[in-house]
Structure 1
């Protein structure tokens, strides 16, 4: 698996359901993250990720190893369509990404970083001045990756999703 070339591209309509199921698998397995019974609306959003990705300027991006789905993320060229709680959607000239998920069989191969870098490159190309993301304590691996990539904690972007603290980050471009 590790030697196969990874392809990153926009998702096809026929892949959206599988991407939603991957996101549910990944997020429901996070230690300390609310389960399906605790946040059913969140998991319904994951299952219907194609609807989120149909917002203006949004793209559902996949990473494939051969024909196998290795990971996915939703990129928002305009943060106002990002759909988070808190103040992030009021930022100007900002892009963002959400719901980065890597299939368990493809972890520790740079897939998450590749997807994040793809989003950052699109934001730069669109001449955005920053990229905004959110993470939780349950997402320790992603949190560390984002900080190594230069994302800075931004407490002004924090919010509560139900009872779950969600932490904001920004990458100045």
Structure 2
């Protein structure tokens, strides 16, 4: 793929659901060997349900030469994202970049778009959850200004899923300085 082409970040079209699912499963496939087999099977099912479900406020994709290479879902709250109350501001889920285009700033573009959309919803923060197995994602989030939000941590079985929050009114992410 020619990376010199411009990355376009936009709202996904409904007919692109399978392509989005494939990008997410490709990106998250690195965890298949880390997770117990049944948990990986359940995770894949959860990803597909989210891609084809009605919950997100926005389905954001990154496209290079008409090919979807990244995706993120934006929900209005933790209730719509996870089915439990607690966070009353936008939440990003299933941020993914295809394995063959990582390191090109695509995840940052997706997060910037989600942050802008969150501001238009009247929010002052943007939240997400991740776990220690996603160490490179954690580094990215922290570099972009997300801070640990311990009060939003949840457990998924025996795994601690850590909450992070970005202050949209103070982040350089929206001024393009990252």
Taking structure 2 as the reference length, the TM-score comes to: 0.84
Match of 1:105 among 94, 100, 112: 100
Instruction: Give the Cα–Cα distance (whole angstroms) in 2 for the partners of residues 142 and 13 of structure 1.
Output: 27
Partner of 1:3: 4
Number of positions where the alignment pairs a residue of Structure 1 with one of Structure 2: 167
Report if the CA contact (8 A) 2:61-2:72 is conserved. Answer: yes
Partner of 2:176: none
Report if the CA contact (8 A) 1:28-1:35 is conserved. Answer: no
Where in structure 1 are there 5+ consecutive unaligned residues? none
Instruction: Give the Cα–Cα distance (whole angstroms) in 2 for the partners of residues 133 and 70 of structure 1.
Output: 20
Instruction: Give the Cα–Cα distance (whole angstroms) in 2 for the partners of residues 162 and 125 of structure 1.
Output: 35
Where in structure 2 are there 5+ consecutive unaligned residues? 169-178
Partner of 1:60: 59
Instruction: Give the Cα–Cα distance (whole angstroms) in 2 for the partners of residues 43 and 31 of structure 1.
Output: 9
Instruction: Give the Cα–Cα distance (whole angstroms) in 2 for the partners of residues 147 and 128 of structure 1.
Output: 20
Report if the CA contact (8 A) 1:63-1:115 is conserved. Answer: yes
Runs of 4+ in 1 over 4 A off after TM superposition: none
SS in 2 for 1:29: helix
1:50: how far off? 2.9
Taking structure 1 as the reference length, the TM-score comes to: 0.87
- Residues 1-173 of structure 1 aligned to structure 2 (within 5 Å): 1-30=2-31, 33-34=34-35, 37-52=38-53, 54-55=54-55, 58-83=57-82, 89-92=85-88, 94-173=89-168
